[in-house]
Structure 1
Amino acid sequence: MDTIDLLTRAKAIRLAIFDVDGVLTDGRLYLLPDGSEFKTFHTLDGQGIKMLIRSGVTTAIISGRHSTAVAQRATALGIHHLYLGHEDKLIVLDELLHKLQLSPEQVAHLGDDLPDLPIIRRVGLGIAVANADAFVRQHAHGVTQARGGEGAAREYCELIMRAQGTLNAAQAAYL
């Protein structure tokens, strides 16, 4: 995933956006008899997001589904902006660009399916997870080696941090 073009694009990123189902999770929906659901998240992804936030990059989640589990996970990780139940993700992107006074080139998005494609095509760094829909992978700037829910978000975070020169310091803090 580390090509010169990706690193150049990643250097300008000030806002990193994440989809949830298929990106921060493996894409499976676990529905319980009472109508509630549960999701599983990978700790590698969570640590990557925390490091990215500490490096000074603003974070957001945009998901088409409402989920208490996602809201709890976002709070635990310190995600700055949370948008649940938004199927038209470009509306949310425009709101974030305006609110944060950013250009599309300063934004990255990690996605996996067709609802993510408009943002992936519009932002400065659009990344698809390894098991994303083939059409989405074809239009992304890059594709992670890891699958969604299995470390893809960590790769995405580390790419941005590597490009911005903050990854080594973030890792060294654990030595």
Structure 2
Amino acid sequence: MDADLLERARNVRLAIFDVDGVLTDGRLYFLVDGSEFKTFNTLDGHGIKMLIRSGVRTAIISGRKTPVVERRAANLGIQHLYQGREDKIVVVEELLGQLGLDYSQVAYLGDDLPDLPVIRRVGLGMAVANAAAFVRRHAHGVTEARGGEGAAREFCELIMQAQGTLEPALAAYL
């Protein structure tokens, strides 16, 4: 494990996720009636639940707005949900003020250009394996897994490993 990433992850108190391309594979599915659906990875979901149980707060910031994301966030227990917000750095500023945190205590997982200002500013800014090349180049780290295929789980476990909470969480299943 990269020592710099572990050091950055040690102080994280808030983990923020983008949705399309991070919690999903990035595809948008529209039905004939205009409704939309998304597919989520159960491994990612359990990783987020473990991270929350470890004491790290979680948030979703998405430029798009859809009821399915609201349902997924509620199912996972994600505490802060912001949809339809294109300027993600403004949302992060709001969250920092609300939670009394600073940028060094925030981790962010994204995949595309609208995520980049946050990725570059937070203590741990990561991109998924299939993120845009420019985003990967400017992130602190890149997951091995692709968005919607375990990248969020990997991100959560990195934070937990750095904070010494991963092994106890896994041991509970033995």
TM-score category, normalised to shorter length: over 0.9
Look up the match of 2:126.
Answer: 127
What amino acid maps onto 2:149 in structure 1? E
User: Where do 5+ consecutive residues of structure 1 fail to align?
Assistant: none
User: Where do 5+ consecutive residues of structure 2 fail to align?
Assistant: none
Query: How far did 1:83 drift?
Result: 0.2
Look up the match of 1:136.
Answer: 135
TM-score by length of 2: 0.99
Query: How far did 1:63 drift?
Result: 0.1
Look up the match of 1:161.
Answer: 160
Matched, 1:99 2:98: yes
Displaced runs of 4 or more, over 2 A: none
CA RMSD of aligned residues (A): 0.4
* Deviation digits for residues 59-83 of structure 1 (CA, Å, limit 9, x no counterpart): 0000000011110000000001000
Give, in whole Å, the separation in 1 of the partners of 2:23 and 2:167. Answer: 24
Query: How far did 1:173 drift?
Result: 1.0
Identity across aligned pairs (percent)? 75
SS across alignment from 2:20: coil
Give, in whole Å, the separation in 2 of the partners of 1:158 and 1:36. Answer: 34
Matched, 1:54 2:53: yes
Look up the match of 1:151.
Answer: 150
The number of residue pairs the alignment matches comes to 174
Look up the match of 2:72.
Answer: 73
Give, in whole Å, the separation in 2 of the partners of 1:133 and 1:166. Answer: 31
Give, in whole Å, the separation in 2 of the partners of 1:173 and 1:59. Answer: 22
SS across alignment from 2:107: strand
TM-score by length of 1: 0.99
SS across alignment from 1:16: strand
Look up the match of 1:89.
Answer: 88
* Deviation digits for residues 86-122 of structure 1 (CA, Å, limit 9, x no counterpart): 0000110000000001010000000000000000000
Query: How far did 1:27 drift?
Result: 0.1
